[in-house]
């Protein structure tokens, strides 16, 4: 290994097969950082989130955080947040207790119109139309 390189390959013997498993310690650190950042997003999706918050959790710069997300998840950190919020809103839209606006705010959007635009962009349908289609499917299921 070249002098000054951060990456180390570690060999761990395995008792079962007798062969050795190799892993790159820098890859484990990268995976742990990504896991920590994604878990943090999942816990705080309803709160205002900025790129700096995600970067802080991963102990990375903003630009390095963006590179991690692009490499590992094929999306930007903030787009991941939006898509996760949309995913959570889909669950809530299937329940009839809350209005579209209440759901938008509950999943972390601070504007109903922005929520509707992002939902349409992600799901190719508006939240209201999605809710109506779910209602229709539920009625059809009950009638059968």
Task: Concatenate the DSSP letters of all residues of 62-96 into one string.
Answer: HHHHHHHHHHHHSS-HHHHHHHHHHHHHHHHHTSS
- Nearest in space to 46 (alpha carbons), one of 3, 103, 97: 103
Q: What is the pLDDT of residues 108-127, one digit of tens each?
A: 999 999 999 999 999 999 99
- Site of tokens 């002098």: 3
Q: What is the pTM of this model?
A: 0.78
21 contact partners, CB below 8 Å, separation of at least 6: 11, 12, 14
- Backbone dihedral angles phi then psi of residue 135, each to the nearest 5 degrees: -60, -45
Give yes or no for residue 11 having a pLDDT over 80.
no
């Amino acid at each position: 290994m070249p002098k000054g390189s951060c990456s180390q390959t570690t060999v761990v013997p395995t008792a079962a097969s007798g062969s050795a498993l190799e892993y790159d310690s820098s890859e484990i650190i990268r995976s742990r950082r990504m896991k920590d950042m994604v878990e943090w997003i999942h816990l705080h999706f309803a709160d205002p989130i900025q790129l700096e918050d995600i970067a802080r959790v991963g102990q990375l710069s903003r630009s390095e955080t963006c590179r991690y997300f692009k490499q590992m998840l094929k999306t930007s950190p903030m787009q991941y947040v939006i898509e996760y919020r949309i995913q959570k809103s889909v669950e809530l839209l299937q329940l009839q207790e809350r209005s579209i606006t209440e759901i938008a705010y509950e999943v972390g959007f601070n504007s109903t119109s922005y929520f509707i635009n992002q939902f349409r962009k992600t799901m190719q349908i508006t939240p209201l139309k999605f809710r109506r289609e779910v209602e229709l499917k539920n009625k059809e299921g009950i009638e059968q």
